[in-house]
């Protein structure tokens, strides 16, 4: 049996614009101005608490961090739900159906909070495809630490050499590689060269024409 592990943001949907707008607005109100590339490098794929300490100081209390991340995530959800045209990355559903029909176990491994996962999966109608969901509430260390992928593989109950990860961020690819997993890079937020430089085996732009057979070739 094969395990397919998805990150969420940038892999299941292009949520970058909603996160970017929420983060840039929040930081701007506190006198911190960053560009989109800094957002992708320092925030996208990491936990909110780590990113906040990076930009606003290591002395932020845990209580303040919780309040700040809740405010940012609430704005993300509002931005996401207001977009009537939002959808999954092209042909994601076809790929999910392909691996589901092949008997694969499918997992989500995301640094996002549970409420974000709930809203995204409900709006995009994805719950029926996933066997395991690991989110921010179940980990203590964010990517690039391998904790989230080690935990996800443990929950899948499969050997690591029978699992493959789909990731779009540099910290996400690094996290999966440190866990000893093969990675398919999704070029929604980073170029192919950057993803391969940190360990992605192959890269795709979206799921057009990508099937379970392609996963088998990677694991062979």
Question: Under 8 Å CB-to-CB from 192, ≥6 apart: which residues?
Answer: 185, 200, 203
pLDDT of the residue at 35: 87
The domain segmentation of the chain, as residue ranges, is 3-14+87-219, 16-82
Q: What fold, for 3-14+87-219?
A: Rossmann fold (3.40.50)
Specify the residue for token string 């691996």.
Answer: 99
What is the DSSP code (8-state) at residue 9? B
pLDDT of the residue at 142: 87
Prediction pTM value: 0.89
**In the chain, which residue ranges form alpha helices assigned H by DSSP?**
16-28, 36-42, 48-56, 62-82, 92-101, 114-124, 147-156, 170-178, 192-197, 212-219
| pLDDT range class, residue 220, cuts 50, 70, 90 | confident
Residue 175 or residue 189, greater confidence: 175
Task: Report pLDDT digits (tens) over 181-208.
Answer: 999 999 998 999 999 999 999 999 999 9
Task: Report pLDDT digits (tens) over 80-114.
Answer: 988 888 899 999 999 999 999 999 999 999 988 99
Pairing of strands 163-167, 132-134: unpaired
Q: Which CATH class is domain 16-82?
A: mainly alpha
Q: Residue 45: pLDDT above 70?
A: no
Residue 62 near residue 106, CB atoms below 8 Å: no
């Amino acid at each position: 049996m094969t395990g397919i592990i998805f990150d969420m943001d940038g892999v299941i949907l292009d949520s970058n614009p909603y996160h970017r707008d929420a983060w840039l607005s929040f930081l701007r109100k506190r006198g911190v101005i960053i560009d989109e590339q800094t957002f992708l490098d320092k925030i996208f794929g990491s936990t909110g608490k780590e990113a906040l300490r990076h930009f606003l100081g290591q002395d932020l209390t845990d209580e303040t961090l919780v309040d700040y991340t809740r405010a940012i995530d609430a704005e993300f959800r509002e931005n996401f739900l207001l977009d009537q045209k939002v959808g999954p990355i092209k042909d994601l559903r076809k790929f999910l159906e392909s691996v589901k029909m092949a008997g694969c176990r499918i997992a989500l491994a995301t640094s996002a909070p549970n409420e974000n996962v709930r809203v995204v999966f409900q709006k995009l109608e994805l719950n029926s495809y996933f066997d395991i969901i690991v989110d921010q509430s179940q980990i203590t260390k964010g990517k690039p630490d391998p904790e989230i992928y080690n935990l996800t593989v443990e929950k899948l109950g499969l050997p690591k050499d029978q699992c493959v990860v789909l990731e779009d961020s540099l910290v996400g690819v690094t996290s999966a590689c440190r866990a000893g997993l093969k990675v398919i890079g999704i070029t929604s937020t980073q170029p192919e060269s950057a993803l391969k430089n940190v360990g992605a085996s192959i890269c795709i732009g979206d799921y057009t024409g990508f099937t379970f057979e392609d996963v088998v070739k990677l694991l062979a």
